[in-house]
Chain A
């Protein structure tokens, strides 16, 4: 009686071994490190940079080891986390600010054989690893304004074509087009033309005498669609930008009508992260101006790349914009027949049409791509009453990233050739994609958890798990003796499995998550307490020891399942509706419930069976 078939023991051993292996990476503490990368991907990171950086650290007297030259970045490990900031400063000063980005990072120390089988440590949440949380607001007014400007231009063109002579067509308050006419006939003609050509505009008449007006606005619904489009477009762009700039495990999500949340765990240099995200960029495609073009119709721009700027100087482009960055749906690096790098660009259908219209009679001329960076800088001013007011001041910086000859009429898909290197192609593709912001954004909320606070949180979390665990182990031993020991072993297995499953699922460990683990420790023994008190009960009823064990396990089973499933329901709901910290807690709690069912029922039974099974037992040590 009370014997498990041998395969069950093997199954349990296999699960425990599996748990141990996948939980193991969490034991390897990552080294504090500094990471050096180039401002542009064309920069080559090689031994010479590493040597310079090492020398800078040596000069500053900072202990370091294990410099690694990777594809895009160099990683130098440091002895202590306190030296990260001084190390960063020393290297940045030695290498210069213009070409290199020096960032704080953590370098994994997981042995290769473990990472080869896919074992990796748990991700740490913002509260443990330190990191930043940004809430950004999309400036949706701008997109409405840009759209209305476009309409104003089109209205002029169409009215001219229809011979509906207007006195003026203006954009008022960025939201309303006002067209003025001398007499009623012209206005009626204009009205019917506009109704036909611009069904999406809401038209109304006003004014009197020689000043008859037509006012055109977008409907509320139309505006909302524009906003939605702008936000989702920015979301995609932001995701690309964050991903491609190599920030680990970011979260980029829409929140509410016009906001986007960005969370970057592990990012220690928040100012740097903010610079990367806050760089609001857009694109414009314009034809190069012919030399005899009037100055009022053309503009002078410089190149963005320093090398190009030195070689060609700037260039004159037409003021007229063919398409903007929001029409670019994709940009990828490819190679032509002779193996030279090129960038393949895909536009949306409206963009394709506009591009075709602009290029088919301009074959042989050059077309420029402008990269526009918008920055919002808060500025404090005095208002009329002498109070200080903080305003977001907008500045724009436009530079040429590509100026290429149009070989044939372009459509939805075209390519940019004549690039010097794959790295340059890569950079251009990244800029083209990242540039596709539909509307500018600014920061409305910012949360930062520094690495020191994170480290404190880990310390107290681990400490409380240890103390809680110890207390429970002692308590179980005193109460149930040998059975308590079995329960304690099962509890250990439970913790290992919990950590392993969380690591495999890539769940994020947060401080509430640690609290969830602690709570699991307290509640996981519940299953065993249920079983053991049932066994005691059966013994008291005069059942022989072996049958009591069996009956205890069997009778408690359905109770345990019921109790755990209801708790699981609560945990799942917590996860579904909660955010951030609540979710972290819910994840650990749910996984803990599942693993504890395995370890407390099967694991404990296995140990008890191993000890008592198939023997004559007079008395249970319970």
Chain B
């Protein structure tokens, strides 16, 4: 059995497996990727991310009821009064409730006043008015508090820093294990994925909170996993396959790993769907970010990383096992 099957100058089958000519569309793919990334950056610049309570701060209101309230009723009353996204929990005893309001509700009311403490009092009173109307007994405002926005700013900086450090270390590892061209490819793919996920969140105006930040960082991990698997195969084939140019080798490698790429993406998507539909409101955005990330990551491991390798003119020589450094030095006197 011959190793390769060639049709009109192109390898169409390798080791009994069909080879798809992925790289034929590489220019188009590059154009799409660049367009998507630019569009994402554009949306991010124009609309910005809608940061969640973790990053922006918000208001908390503690109220006491004379007549024990039903938490669900209170939630509905608040929703009806326009306080969207309020969370209501028991506080201390079942006659006391803690109501947390997201920042945009706080902002609406606080725009007029200058300082935080002045600002929080009116909104607390309003909440009490609303709840008083819906309760049989008296409702008292016990305390109003803001979650400090500076805490959020720190978290944001840390998150951004983390992403950069992660990218740098990954680049280093890939350079050591593979070759610098691969590390440029891998990091380009990661940046591509992260920017598109962020752009997606900015476009739809979804809350970007700490869990979404974790998801974005997980996308880095996932996408990297995918890219490494493809890169590993490319390296192997450069050493193994004779009589093939880099483009063909990349095609062969992607074709060989295609089944695995789809299978893993699919199982991961399965659990993410489970998280999204059954995981509750709190991790809804987390799973959404990951779903987008996994889809984009799968695409980028096929097209972005390999594309960069082509652009950098990866060659057999780049991947030949390096002559052990120091071997010569040892012989020197």
Interface residues of A (CB under 8 A from B): 85-86, 88-89, 127, 135, 255-256, 269-272, 378, 380, 387-390, 443-453, 456-457, 460-461, 463-465, 467-469, 471-472, 475-476, 479, 511-512, 515-516, 518-519, 521-523, 525-526, 529-530, 533, 536-537, 540-542, 558-559, 562-567, 569-571, 573-574, 576-582, 585-586, 589
Shortest beta-carbon distance, B263 to chain A, in Å? 5
Check B218–A519 contact: CB distance below 8 A.
yes
Is the pair A522, B272 in contact by a Cβ cutoff of 8 Å? yes
**A388-B121, A446-B60, A582-B210 in contact; A567/B224 too (CB < 8 A)?**
yes
Whether B162 pairs with A522 at a CB distance below 8 angstroms is: no
Main DSSP-derived SS at the A contact region: helix
B91 interface contact, C-beta 8 A: yes
Task: List, in ascending order, chain A residues with CB within 8 A of B280's CB.
Answer: 456-457, 460-461
**B188 / chain A contacts, CB cutoff of 8 Å:** none
Contact between chains at B264 and A464 (CB < 8 Å): no
Given contacts A460-B278, A570-B224, A589-B218, is CB(A452)–CB(B94) below 8 Å?
Answer: no
- On whether the beta carbons of B221 and A533 are closer than 8 Å, the reply is no
Interface residues of B, Cβ cutoff 8 Å to A: 1, 15-17, 60, 71, 87, 89-94, 96, 98, 113, 117-118, 120-122, 143-148, 151, 154-155, 158-159, 161-162, 165-166, 169-170, 173-174, 177, 210-211, 213-215, 217-218, 220-222, 224-225, 228-229, 232-233, 256-257, 259-260, 263-264, 266-275, 277-280, 282-283, 286-287, 290
How far is it, in angstroms, between the C-alpha of A432 and the C-alpha of B144 when the chains are bound?
A: 34
Which of A446, A471, A515: most chain B Cβ within 10 A?
A515
Q: Give every chain B residue within 8 A of A565 (Cβ-Cβ).
A: 173
Let me know if A574 and B89 touch, CB within 8 A. Answer: no
Q: Closest B residue to A472 by CB, please name it.
A: B267
Closest to A474 in B: B270
- Complex Cα distance A460/B282, Å? 10
Q: How far is the CA of A345 from the CA of B138 in the complex (A)?
A: 52
Given A271-B91, A476-B267, answer yes or no on A578-B162 (Cβ-Cβ < 8 Å).
yes
- Shortest beta-carbon distance, B269 to chain A, in Å? 8
Q: Smallest distance from the beta carbon of A34 to chain B beta carbons, Å?
A: 13
Q: Complex Cα distance A406/B44, Å?
A: 71
Give the contacting residue for A448; candidates B89, B210, B221, B274; CB below 8 A: B89
* Residue from B15, B158, B271 in contact with A519 in the complex, judged by beta carbons closer than 8 Å: B271
Q: Report Cα–Cα, A536/B144, bound state, in Å.
A: 64
B89 touches which of A271, A449, A579 (Cβ 8 Å): A449
For B222, give its contact among A463, A468, A567, A585 (CB under 8 Å). A567
| Residue among B161, B277, B286, B290 making CB contact with A577, cutoff 8 Å | B161
* Complex Cα spacing A586 to B145, Å: 31
User: A570, B91: Cβ atoms under 8 Å?
Assistant: no
In the complex, residue of chain A having the shortest beta-carbon distance to the beta carbon of B275: A464
Contacts of A581 in B (CB 8 A): 210-211, 214
Q: A450–B228 contact, CB under 8 A?
A: no
Judging by beta carbons under 8 Å apart, are A563 and B89 in contact?
Answer: no
User: Is the Cβ of A566 less than 8 Å from the Cβ of B174?
Assistant: yes
Complex formed: what's the CA distance from A536 to B87 in Å? 52
Query: Are A271's CB and B92's CB within 8 A?
Result: yes
Is there contact, CB below 8 Å, between B158 and A578? Answer: yes
Q: Is the CB of B220 within 8 A of A582?
A: no
Contacts of A447 in B (CB 8 A): 60, 147
A288 CB to closest chain B CB, in angstroms?
Answer: 41
Cβ contact within 8 Å between A522 and B147: no
Cα separation A563 to B271 with both chains bound (whole Å): 20
Hey, which chain A residues are within 8 Å of B169, CB to CB? 569, 573
Minimum C-beta distance from B67 to chain A (A): 15
> Do A559 and B228 touch (CB < 8 A)?
yes
Chain B residues near A471 (CB-CB < 8 A): 267, 270-271, 273-274
A85 touches B90 (CB 8 A): yes
Query: How distant is the Cα of A271 from the Cα of B96 in the complex, in angstroms?
Result: 10
Residue of A460, A476, A519, A570 contacting most chain B CB atoms (<10 Å):
A570
9 pairs, CB–CB < 8 Å, chain A vs chain B: A463-B279, A468-B270, A519-B271, A522-B271, A533-B257, A540-B15, A563-B228, A566-B173, A570-B220
**Interchain CB contact under 8 A, A585 and B224:** no
Q: Please, how many angstroms separate the alpha-carbon atoms of A389 and B114 in the complex?
A: 12
Residues of chain A within 8 A of B210, CB atoms compared: 512, 579-582
Q: Contact at B148–A135, with CB atoms within 8 Å?
A: yes
Q: Which of B89, B211, B220, B266 contacts A512 (CB 8 A)?
A: B211
Are A562 and B228 neighbours in the complex by a CB distance under 8 Å? yes
Q: How far is the CA of A55 from the CA of B268 in the complex (A)?
A: 54
Given A581-B214, A589-B221, are A511 and B165 also a contact pair (CB < 8 Å)?
no
Docked Cα-Cα span, A389 to B221, in Å, equals 49
Bound CA span A516–B217, Å: 12
Contact of B117 among A389, A525, A541, A564 (CB under 8 A): A389
Given A453-B89, A515-B283, answer yes or no on A562-B220 (Cβ-Cβ < 8 Å): no
